Structure formats: C-alpha cells, structure tokens
Structure 1
Amino acid sequence: MYWRNRLAAHAMTGSRIRERRLDQGMRQADVADAAGISASYLNLIEHNKRRIGGKLLQSLARALNADPASLSEGAEPAVLNGMRAAAARTSQPIETDRAEDLATRFPGWAGLIAAQEARVDTLEAEVRVLRDRMTHDPALAGALHNVITAVTSIRATAGILANDDNIDADWQRRFHVNIHDDSRRLAVESEALVAYLEPPTEAASSREHLTGFEEVEAFLLRENKLLDWVEAHPNAAPETLLRDYDAPALSREGREVLLQYLVRFSKDVRLMPRATFVPAAVAAHGDPSTLAAQFDADLPAVLRRLGGLPADVGLPPMGLAIADQTGALTYLKTVPGFAPSRFTAGCPLWPLYAALTQPMRPIKSEVVLPGQAGARFMCYAIAVPKTHADFSAAPVLETTMLVVSDPAPGLQEPIKAGVSCRVCPRSGCAARREPSAIEVKS
C-alpha cells in the first residue's frame, strides 16, 4: 500500500497544480505564460494527461509560489498517516480518500490535525500506563495498604476509648499514645502516597516510575546522536562508549539495559551497515526475507535493523517489539495505532506471541485493530533461542516482531487483534481473558 500510494501521489501532480492555481485565483493562461508553456499544454497537465518533472515542475512551482515537492509528491506521509489515524477514531463518515486533497490545499490545517492526533495518541498511552500502574504497581498497592492499616488501627483504638467508660488512666494513656503514633504514621504514608500520585516535575523523579527498558527507549528517542555515532563507529567497544557518554538521566538499571542494547546494535550494524542496508531495504520494499538472504543475516537481526531505521529513508512507518519467553516486552518502538501495554497482558492473537508457540518458524500476518477504520499492519515475527545450544538445559526463547503500517491488502483474512482484553470491544473472541471495559461492540 505504501508503494502504491507513492506512485499514485506522482500521478496526481496535475490535479495538485490545478487546485493550487484555483486556490490562488490565477488564470490558466497566466500560469502557463509564467512557466513558458501554452495554456492548452497546461490544461493537459492539470488533467493528469501529461507527466512533468525537472525544469518544468520548478517553473510551475515558482509561478504558483509553491514547493515543487508538494506538487509532485503531495502531503508528507506522516501528515497523511496522522489524518487517517484521526479519522479512524470517530464513527462519523469521513472522506478518507480526500485526505491528500485537504493536506495539499490546506497544509496548515492538515498539520494541525496530524499534530493533535499525535498528542491524543500520546495522552492515551500515558493514560494506559497510569491505569495499568494503578492496577498492578506493587509500590502503589503497598502505600495504599499502609494507609488503610493506619486508619484501621486508629479507628479500632478510638472505638475502645469511646465505648468503654471504665478504662483506667494507665490504659487510656497507652491508647492515646497508640493513636498519636498511628496518626503520625498515617500522615507520613499519606504524604508518600500523594507524592507518588503527583506528576513528576524533574527527569530524576520521573525515573522512579520507569523500568530500565522504558528508560532506555525514552533515552534513545532523545539521544539519537548516540546511535548515529555507533553507526559511524561500529567496532568501538560499547562499554567504553557508555562510560564516556554523558547519560546522567539513566539509573543503574537503565545503564545496564542500554549496554546490552548497544552490544547487540553494534553487531547488527557491522553485519548490515546503513550505507548498504538502506538502499537494499528500499529496493526490496522492506521485505525481511530478501534482506536476510542478501546480507546472510538471521531474521531477528533484519527485523531489528528495519525497525530501528529513521523515518525519512523511504520506507513506510515501522514499529518493533521484542519480548522474552513469558511475553514480557523488553523493547518497544511504537507507531500510530500500535502501542501495546507493558503492564497488562497483551492480546495473544498478535504474531509476537504466536511465534513463541512455533520456535524458528517465520510468521507473516496482517493484523487489523477494532473500529470501523481500525489501523492495519503487516507483521513479521519469529522466535529463536536467545542462548547458545546446551545439552543440559532447555533453550531460552526471544520473540521479535516488525510492524509495518498501512500494508497492501493480503490474500488471507487478517487477524482481528486488539491491545488487551480490557480495552478491546470485540465480542465473541475466543482469546478473551476478561470482560471489556468498553461497551461498544465491533
């Protein structure tokens, strides 16, 4: 779908020229004269009966005061993806086939829609994390338990004092001391609970609520220059790099996770250098099997390499998920629509988990999320032993899944998956573990 959309974008260059001219209230003859062509030839161009490029495209762009790329390629793919994701959130009929028209004619409004969609997606992810932690975080459960224990103790002691008039002075004094001590303990526990629930104001305080894996993922998003440096120096020792690199925002656990990530990343870079891998990936349309054969690499390494490429290399948006043998995520790179939770069990229908039941077997499946216009992905997954073969112990598996946005429709029926059972509206799902909190059915 991504590649078909790119070809379609170029085929609509004439339509975009016409819309730009009409938006500016310019006559066809005036634009043609400014570009040095006849009005009849411009008319053929505007009706997509003549393909243009190079000098003529530059001339028309100058005449229309437009960016040549906006005429030849249309809106940025990221903006269009954001607009389509925003449309998928509503049950109202949306003319999604006119998204590029809107983005071309009103790029400012289109950018605003895409930015708001990204903000909504970020806020929803934060809400999911907070909800999951409210349900499963042992620190929060312990704080609540301490508060309830202190309240119960105070209530019991106060009840004795209020209902028994025959308590001697010595016992009254002891009960008063107990109430005083429990009240102080309640105050301390309450302050700790409030501090825990308050949003962090500094990076250091926010680390307290992140796992080492989450720290590293957030760190790599901020410090992409670190990975660029590794790309340029793949033979440098990751231990030395991490020691010399200023990473004060990471905890000890985060630094250990980052070191493990850099060791593997360096190995992947040495096997598949970006300078040769990116052109090969674009030529292969991102097909992992083709790239694995071309670079003599295993599939998990290719999936990791594809999932870690920048967004501007000419490939569709790609997410990446890596999980251990229990299904717990150890690395996650999200794309719009794909943001699984770390704190609740994920949907078992995703190929990421299905691969664990079929070690060493590559799985390619299309996945569609709930909703009238649910996001669609092509997923490539495989589970392989993480440890070397050992006759004395069973292998420890690791599963890797590449998630490609907006694929071309496949020949097989797509998998109807969700994020997790609690927030999935699908009814009649054989994999459901618990009732959904969403009433709407799909």
Structure 2
Amino acid sequence: MAERKILAGHAVRRLRRREGLTQAAMAEMLTISPSYLNLVEKNQRPVSAALLVKLAETFDFDPRALAAGEPGGGAAAIRRRLADPMFADLEIDRNEVEEWLAGAPGGAEAFARAFDRTGVTAGPDGAAAAADPIAELRREIERWRGHFADLDASAETLADELRLGAGDLYGAIAERLRVKHQLTIRILPVDVMPDLLRRTDLHARQLQLSETLDPASRTFAAAYQLAQIEARDAIEALVKGAGFADRAAERLYRRYLTSYFAAAVMMPYARFLRACEATGYDLELLQRRFGAGFEQVAHRLTTLQRVGARGLPFFMVRIDRAGQASKRFSGASGSPLTESDARCPLWRVHHAFDRPGDIAVQLVELEDGARWLTLSRTVTPQGRRYGMVPVEFAVGLGLAADLADGLAAARGVDFKGEATPIGLSCRACGRICPQRSAPPAGRALLINERERGVSAFTFGGIERRRAWLS
C-alpha cells in the first residue's frame, strides 16, 4: 500500500521557531530551497521521506511528532468531532476541514481543545452526555493512531526470545514466569473462582487462571502478567506522558497498554503483518496460525501502523444486542463509523447476532460517498457457563473500499456495484429512510396531514435520497 502524504507544516514551523531559525537558515541546513520550505509550512507540499530523514538527522526530530502534533489530532480527528449531531445542519465536508487545518491550524486546535474540555456532546437523543474516563482513554489511543511503536518493538523482541525457547508460546511464557520471576501458573476450578478469570496471588507467587478460559485466553492472560512485569517502565512512561487528570482514565490506559503488549507478544508485528499480506488478511487463518481469538485478531489489525511497514488501516467496533458500543478503535482508518454512540440498523454488524460465528461481509456507503467494506461476527466472552445470563457481542471490522479488493473476504464483492447506503445514526443522518427511528438533528420537521411517506419523519433542508436497497 502506498504511503499516505503527510501534510505537517504546523509541526515543521513549530520546530523552526523552537530552534530560532528563519526559513532561509533552516532551508540551508536541510539543503532545500526557502520557497519549498515555505510551501511545506503552508501545507501546500507534503513532507517527503527524504525531508523527514533530514529533519530527524539535523534536529533530533521524532517523526511521530508529525502525527501526534497535528492540530486537533489531524483532519480525521476533527471530522470525528464534527460528526457530533450538534453540527449536523452545518454540512461541513472533508475539503473544508483540510482547508481549515491548512489555513488556520491554531483555530482548529483551539476548537478541538474547547470541544474536548467541555466534555459535553449530544447523545443519540440530543441530550447532553458528560465526559467520562473511557472518552479520555479513546482520545489518547486515537492520538497515537492505535500504534505504540516502542511497545511493539519490545514485545517483538520478547516473542522472538520465547519462540527460541519453545514452540508452544503458552508453555514458554509459563516457564519464563517461573524461572525469571518466580511465578507459577495454576488453573483453578470455577467454584473456586466463580467471578474471576485471572488473579495474581503474590503471597503464593501464583498467577491463577479460571478453568473456563480457552487456550487463546490463557495465553493472553499469561502474556498480560509478563507485560505487567517486563514492560512496566515503558508502559508507565506512556501513562505519565498522557497526563490524565482523571485517575480512572489513567488506570484504564495502563490496562489497555498492558493488553496491547500482551497481544503484540502473541502476534509479533513483522510475522503477523507478513501473515496478513500472504493470506489476504484471512481472519480465520490468522486465528489458527497465532493461536488467538477472533476479537484479538480484529483488534490487532487496527494497530499495524509501523513506519515503513504499515498494514491496511482497519477500524473496529464491538457492540451488544442493544447497539451499545463497548470497544471502538478507528486506528489510522479515519472512519466516522466508530464515533457515533448509535449506529445505522442497515449496517450488518447488527445482523451478526442472527448467525452466530459466521462472518457477514457488506459493502456500505456513507452520505459523503465514502465506501467501506465491513466484516461482522459474533464473539462470546470468556467465563460463560450454563445457567448464567447469556452474553454475546458483535465485532465489526472495516476498511476503506478502495483498499479492500485484495482481502480474502472480498472475493466475489462487486466494488463498482451497488452498496448499502447507511448513516452514522438516525440523528446524524439526513437520508429519507423507512428504517428511521428519529429525525436528524438540526433539521426542520415537515408535517403534512394529507400525506404519509415511507419514513415516519419528513424534514427539510436536504436532498431526498433513498437509504435502502430495492
């Protein structure tokens, strides 16, 4: 996949001002023309790979600052904020957002900070919803585009060491915990741990796991324990750098990073990416090859953004039968489908519950014309037993359609044919649709007692378009 163009004039300009240089002086140090540097700073030219290397060599510049330093997190993050129903009547398209970032990066950053700091966004019913630790956690993960390079590199090194010791990853981790950290793994009956899946008993020097865990989950739990010990310093540095004001958000972030490291040990970056490319990102093959669960593989696909070795930019969302999202990762996809608190019922992620275990493939099209190929499947949490309340989630995985034709799951999909028109939610969608359960935010309702349309709600200010397939 071709590398995306990086427009990061704001970061280059900030670096130049920090060093106290004029454009002419900095251009001379970088062996480029002042006019070219001026165009870069104005976001009229992308930062080339050669210029990126030169910046790193000359100014000890961290390339990750180009992504992390974008005003408001970049165009995709600004668009996600503007997807809030309170802005539905403004119809701001992606070109306007990019022009705003290029022409007034400070204003875009000010908007993003104000939006985030107020902690108030409109929910699906239009009511205000207070900010919460999970929202803070998501913002920090998205700031890194879901990829933590240092953790991935350390996990890959550790995975290689474990692989040399034994072909069985779970056994190798158990042996390392026992020999290096004096911790043994003990599998306990469910009546001993009725409400727990994992527990670390430091007094007994044991990692205690429930017998209800399947092999993939046992390996993950063991890798998680190893991450808590051997990746502690790297994780704490990231947690400290996030600067959370809320302690709950800080703890959630620490847990997320520990899980990230554990998954990276199970699915080491280079080997996993090679397997993805060789199999056409075949989810079931990847599960078997790396001894992982469907949800673990799906989440891992959203993190493959190593500089110089990027995977396809997937997004992932996990919902329950009521449509409530418990996990949302947009990674580098920039997809707005992860942002809304409600989802379109025409998206087959909801239909996955009708066929448990089967992968539903769907080509969808949003109002702005963007097309996405989505894959949806149910997953069942660990620890479920007979007699308990049945728990089930659906995982939706998606990729921009123009990148998806090489996927194993895309065989037989006509990317030039008709796609299912969907919205982000009824409150954020302006289409006329018989499935609509609420009018769009910011639209004037039109009431005509002499007419009844296919939709229960008729409203003005939009071009009427059908949102269903004939």
Q: Place the TM-score, normalised by the shorter chain, in its bin.
A: 0.3 to 0.5
TM-score (norm 2): 0.46
Pair member with larger Rg = 1
Higher helix share: 1
TM-score (norm 1): 0.48
